[in-house]
């Protein structure tokens, strides 16, 4: 059985890692928060505007997946994505503070994926009323 005290951190992480990528992804098309093109490494083989729009689409999709019933998958995608962003920044030789922040955020997304995994296992166990035992539902 899942400890109910894990519900609050699970939902806080799920909303954060679902909504923030969606907002950041939408902003890749509006540039209201920042000029995103300045964060594109010169090693990227696409024009910065094209690359940023592609990034925006991926971020929106990842956020939607986190908020869907596939939270664990979405959280792993967001975690990997944040590591990729950090690596992009490191290749630029600047924005090290943002790269470190994104690595820490990646750990948070990974934590959400693990919490989602624990919740899935805990909710798949159902009491066997006939024998008084717990059995695991097969996926």
Give me the pLDDT at residue 130, please: 39
Phi and psi of 135, rounded to 5°? -120, 155
pLDDT of residue 2: 73
Give the Cα separation of 101 and 2 in Å (integer).
Answer: 30
The yes-or-no verdict on residue 139 having pLDDT over 50 is: no
**13-35 residue pLDDT tens:** 999 999 999 999 999 999 999 99
Q: If DSSP codes are grouped into helix, strand and coil, which group holds residue 134?
A: strand
For residue 47, is it left (φ>0), alpha (ψ between -120 and 50) or beta? beta
How far is residue 100's CA from residue 29's CA, in Å, rounded to a whole number? 25
Q: What percent of the chain has pLDDT over 90?
A: 80
Q: Quick check: 4 pLDDT over 80?
A: yes
pTM: 0.84
Q: Is 126's pLDDT higher than 70?
A: no
């Amino acid at each position: 059985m899942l400890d109910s005290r894990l519900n609050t951190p699970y939902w806080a992480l799920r909303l954060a890692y679902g909504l923030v990528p969606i907002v950041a992804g939408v902003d890749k098309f509006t540039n209201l928060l920042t000029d995103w093109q300045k964060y594109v490494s010169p090693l990227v083989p696409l024009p910065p505007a094209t690359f940023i729009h592609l990034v925006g689409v991926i971020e929106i999709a990842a956020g939607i997946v986190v908020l869907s019933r596939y939270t664990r998958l979405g959280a792993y995608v967001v975690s990997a994505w944040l590591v990729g962003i950090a690596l992009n920044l490191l290749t630029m030789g600047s924005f090290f503070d943002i790269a470190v922040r994104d690595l820490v955020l990646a750990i948070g997304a990974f934590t959400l994926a693990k919490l989602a995994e624990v919740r899935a296992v805990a909710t798949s166990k159902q009491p066997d009323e006939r024998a008084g035992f717990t059995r695991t539902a097969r996926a």
